[in-house]
Amino acid sequence: MDSMELGGNIVLTGFADRDFTELIVVKKIVGQYSRKLSDATPDFGKLHVSVKNVHGGSTIEISCTAEVNNHKFSSQVEGHNLFVVLDEALKKVSEQVHKKIDKQER
């Protein structure tokens, strides 16, 4: 599957067939979450986001994995709107990372 790397710590997979304008918005959304994660912890490594069409192409599935201090945090969300599904999947990963950071600080 096609992958593109952004800024060294973001990898997008499966987005090559997406419309150019969709891709711009996807990069902005993923970039914002990546920046928040790297600001939250110096141990942030990489954010990998992949997309695929499922259920005969009627549904979008987004899988996200964040690597922080050799730990992997993952989420997978399905839906019909690319941006809503992307935001939801990234939000889930971000919440997992922040919970881990909060536990370490106690």
Give per-residue pLDDT as tens, 9-63: 999 999 988 899 999 999 999 999 999 999 988 889 999 999 999 988 889 999 9
Q: Is 103's pLDDT higher than 80? A: no
For the chain, how many structural domains are there in total? 1
For residue 45, the enclosing domain spans 3-101
Beta bridge partners of 74: 65
Nearest 5°: the CA angle 55, 58, 62 is 75
Q: Is 104's pLDDT higher than 80? A: no
* SS3 state at 8: coil
Query: At 40, which CATH number?
Result: 3.30.160.100
Stated pTM of the model: 0.91
Radius of gyration of the chain (CA): 14
Has residue 106 been placed in a domain? no
Has residue 67 been placed in a domain? yes
Q: Which residues of 39-66 are buried (b: 16+ CB within 10 A; e: fewer)?
A: eebeebebbbbbbeeeeeeeebbbbbbb
pLDDT band of residue 106 (cuts 50, 70, 90) is low
